[in-house]
Amino acid sequence: MKNTVTLPAEKVHSTVAMDKVDYCEEVENLLMDKDSREALAAKAADAAIARFYGPPNVHKQGVPLRTIVSLRGTPTFGSSKWLYQRLCFITKDSEWTVKSAKELLARIQHLELEADEVMVSFDVISLFTSIPPNLALETCDGLL
């Protein structure tokens, strides 16, 4: 068991045991993927660094790791929280925003589709890093 790492699984209440070498290789591959992130130079004094970890997605084929970067305690955490508090009104009462899968299911439970309609679900990889920054800025500008 020395070469095994145990992790909480993503979105389900279970524990996953993985080979430590395999887990480290997957985490390194996520960190080295230059297409899904942008490196920024910053100077931090007495600040915590972001915490990176990857719980396994046991409900997906190949059990990929979900990239999570916790910014709690980092230099930008306070300003991000402040900005969120000022902008959350944009989606607060939107009919197109849901907070959870449970809320989505409640909304579509009684939805009736026409014979020529199809309901689809898209599984997005690296959602936030896949959105072009200019599109995000233009969208926010349009909503404000």
Tell me what pLDDT residue 131 has: 78
For 21-61, how does the pLDDT look when each residue is reduced to its tens digit (9 = 90+)?
A: 888 888 888 888 877 766 656 565 667 888 888 888 888 88
pLDDT of residue 116: 92
pTM over 0.85: no
Contact 90, 44 (CB under 8 A): no
For the ranges 7-11, 86-90, 115-119, the maximum mean pLDDT occurs at: 115-119
Q: Say what the pLDDT of residue 114 is.
A: 92
Percent of the chain with pLDDT strictly greater than 70: 88
Return the pLDDT at 38.
65
Q: What are the tens digits of pLDDT across the range 55-86?
A: 888 888 888 888 888 888 888 888 888 888 88
* DSSP label at residue 9: P
Q: Give mean pLDDT, residues 90-107.
A: 85
- Quickly list DSSP for 33-81: -GGG--------SS-PPPEEE--B-TTSTT-PBPPEEE-TTSTTHHHHH
Domain range for 53 = 4-143
Domain count along the chain: 1
Report CA 104 to chain centroid distance, whole Å. 18
C-alpha to C-alpha distance for 138 and 136, rounded to whole angstroms: 6
Q: Are 18 and 7 in contact (CB under 8 A)?
A: yes
